[in-house]
Amino acid sequence: MRLLLTRPELDAERTAAALRARGHAVVVAPLLRIETLQDAEIGRGPWAAVLVTSANAVPAIAQHGRFEELRLLRAFAVGERSAQALRAAGFTDVSSADGKVDDLVRVVARRIKPGEQLLYLAGADRSGDLAAALRVQNLVVRTVVVYRAVAAETLPAEAAEALSAGVDGVLHFSRRTAATYVGAARGAGLLIAALNPVHYCLSAQVAEPLAQAGAVDIRIAPRPAEADLIDLIASP
């Protein structure tokens, strides 16, 4: 199959490699650019653990002036991809949830005592409210923004060329990327071509902008994990 992949570059290259290993042709055209915010003020603590809901937070943590202090803490990740990124960066005590914020809340609430302080290293744009959900569990959470995703203002040339030539499917990993895809395609006069392929989405929430725009063939991963999304795609 000929597939279009629009997630940020580093993640896209890893996903593209997995898809190509299955025999697919992949066009990579990122619609979001990740900017790390180095040396964000994280506060004094003491922190019982670090929380992350995206692997995109990890490069900012690794470059932070207090990294050596942070990596000694327990770490909780929303899914295995972000957990692997934390381990690769030097964290040794890492627990992973099943890919959803609600799952992460349950894991943290079971393992952290009420009243302890948690450091949530987050993106500027977030779906769900992890900190509020944990406060209900009598946990203290400080949210610190360590990265932001900057959306493309226009459709990348690679994406425009692929849509004009025709693709079989488009992969969507975040609601914001899906919304950016729709808006950029509309601005380029390619909305119909952009909506026609099969749209493989990480979750129902990710699929919402596509459904609202009129996409008909939308397929949603059974779990919000990259491997499950890739498994949705039939072999060529």
- Buried-exposed string 177-186: b where 16+ CB fall within 10 A, e elsewhere: bbbbbbbbbe
For the record, the structure tokens of 68 come out as 């050596």
Q: Would residue 212 count as lying in a domain? A: yes
**pLDDT for the residue 236:** 54
One domain for residues 203 and 97:
no
pLDDT above 80: residue 50 = yes
pLDDT above 80: residue 38 = no
Phi/psi of residue 131, nearest 5 degrees: -60, -45
**pLDDT for the residue 6:** 93
One domain for residues 69 and 170:
no
CA distances from 84 to 14, 77, 92, 121 (A): 13, 9, 10, 16
Q: Would residue 236 count as lying in a domain? A: no
> Could you tell me what percent of the chain has a pLDDT over 70?
99
Distance CA 186, CA 139 (A): 44
Q: Which of 63-67, 153-157, 232-236 has the lowest mean pLDDT?
A: 232-236
Range of the domain at 141: 34-150
pLDDT above 70: residue 169 = yes
CATH number at residue 213: 3.40.50.10090
Q: Are 118 and 142 in contact (CB under 8 A)?
A: yes
Q: Are 210 and 178 in contact (CB under 8 A)?
A: yes
pLDDT tier for residue 235 given thresholds of 50, 70 and 90: low
For the chain, how many structural domains are there in total? 2
Residue 159 class from Cβ within 10 Å (0-12 exposed, 13-18 middle, 19+ buried)? buried
Q: Are 159 and 188 in contact (CB under 8 A)?
A: no
Are β-strands 32-36 and 140-151 bridged in parallel, bridged antiparallel, or unpaired? antiparallel
pLDDT above 80: residue 99 = no
One domain for residues 39 and 123:
yes
pLDDT above 90: residue 191 = yes
